[in-house]
Chains A and B, each alone.
Chain A
Amino acid sequence: MTGQQDTFPRMVIVLAVICAAAGLTLGATYHLTQERIRLEQERGRMRALRVVLPEAHANGFREVTAQKSSFAADGRYYEAYDKPLADASRKLVGYALEGAGAGYSSTIRVTVGVDPKGEIVRGIKITSQQETPGLGSNCEAVKSEGTLWDALFGKARQSGEAEPWFQAQFRGQRSDSFVKVGNKYANVDGLTGATITTNAVTDAVVAAVKEFRREVLQIR
């Protein structure tokens, strides 16, 4: 660390070597993890589809891109069948759509399942949000059954699949029943202190279904 070592070429060489080493390490790490990251994203999408259309078969989802329509910007949606895609006797049980709404501090992305006529919401799943912790982010809160003590002694297990109560209330609602009274939707139980998040999610669901009905199912 003495002064005479601080020549310009030396500095450049050391920096270059460190950067190269860093690049190599990162490249290797990325190589190790990219497959896993892709799988994980795929699994996340699959999990959302299964939640919003529980009656569909796990292998019964087909990704479709709507032609010549403004639906969901890239026109992507999913057809859901009750049997695997390979099965010829499969029946269409619904569609899954992806919507987004402007929340309080983030864009809220939501996957919506509807019946084949696009009339009834089968379920919704919020796939990404960065809302205020403790208020807006409660849209993903799960009501826990047992207390901490139960959990510690193994009595209650908080299953990862438990559905957040806020999202559960959308199940089975008619898509045209979401009507705003004042600044609130009459048939949606709001999140305490987070009207914006509540409305953003509902808006996203309503808009996605409406657009889908108009653009893809041609129902007006």
Chain B
Amino acid sequence: MSNWQTFKTGIFKNNPVFIVNLGLCPTLATSTSLRDAIGMGMAATFVLVGSNVIVSAIRRAVPHKVRIPCYIVVIATFVTIVELFLGAYQPDLYNALGIFLPLIVVNCIVLYRAEVFASKNGMASSLFDGFGMGLGFTCAVLLLAFIREGLGKGTLMGYPVIPGFSPTGIMVLPPGGFMTMGLLLGFFSWRKLRTKEHK
């Protein structure tokens, strides 16, 4: 598989959120506004790329039995780097993401990619895999945030879209998040079913 294909799979065919159903918590929690969504997506992508590359680099040196603790240390290091840099350069975003920033450590996508892909593949393809998966995750959060902020606040990136539109507050609250996610997942499985029937 070429690097480009590896990259593309992460965004569409194997989208970590909509197809593999991983990383659901941060997707729902940080999709109340597009700004938070972009921040979360970029932070997670950075951690994914970094941990994928390092895990791939050390994959031959790490004994099988202690591989998970080793991966966790690598991931936690990258997460802390993100935390420190966001605290220093984007304090507002740092506060807005709150508890979900350290929780990138336990975002299943990161460990899943380390275990399934990076520990078995070279550094270059792991890099592309990290980028692809990270972008796939970012797209998912953005899509959700687009719907939730648009309907729930009537704004996008904080700007009103349609003058006089009265927002549906429930969309930014947890129930709105759950239902949007359910309907989106339903949509994607409908598409999958349809392509299967056509074949």
Contacts and interface: CB of A to CB of B under 8 A. Distances in A.
Whether A and B touch (Cβ < 8 Å) is answered with yes
Interface of A: 1, 3, 5-7, 10-11, 14-15, 18-19, 22, 25-26, 29-30, 32-34, 36-37, 40-41, 44, 128, 130, 132-135, 142, 144, 146-148, 150-151, 156, 158, 192-193
15 contacts: A3-B64, A14-B61, A14-B66, A18-B73, A26-B84, A33-B87, A40-B91, A133-B173, A134-B173, A135-B172, A135-B173, A144-B155, A144-B160, A146-B159, A147-B162
Given A5-B63, A6-B65, A128-B95, A18 B158 contact: no
Contacts of A192: 169
Contacts of B155: 144, 148
B188 interface: no
A14 B67 CA distance: 10
Given A18-B58, A25-B77, A26-B81, A147 B159 contact: yes
A148 B66 contact: no
A118 to B, nearest CB: 30
Interface in B71-98: 73-74, 76-77, 80-81, 84-85, 87-89, 91, 95, 98
Contacts of B143: none
B76 A134 contact: no
Is the contact region of chain B dominated by helix, strand, or loop, or is it mixed?
helix
B157 interface: yes
Nearest to B167: A134
A11 B70 CA distance: 10
A144 B173 contact: no
Interface in B148-178: 152-153, 155-163, 169, 171-173
Contacts of B33: 133
B85 A33 contact: yes
A26 B83 CA distance: 11
B173 A132 contact: yes
A44 B85 contact: no
A158 B169 contact: no
Given A22-B73, A25-B81, A134 B172 contact: yes
B63 A37 contact: no
Given A7-B63, A14-B66, A22-B73, 10 more contacts: A11-B65, A15-B69, A22-B74, A26-B84, A29-B81, A33-B84, A36-B88, A40-B88, A147-B159, A148-B156
Is the contact region of chain A dominated by helix, strand, or loop, or is it mixed?
helix
Given A130-B98, A135-B169, A37 B156 contact: no
Interface string B48-71: 000000000011111111100110
Given A18-B58, A18-B73, A44 B169 contact: no
Contacts of A156: 159
Interface in B19-47: 32-33
A25 to B, nearest CB: 6
Nearest to A39: B88
Contacts of B171: 134
B157 to A, nearest CB: 7
Contact of B159 (A11, A34, A41, A148): A148
B177 to A, nearest CB: 10
B172 A1 contact: no
B77 A26 contact: yes
A6 B148 CA distance: 49
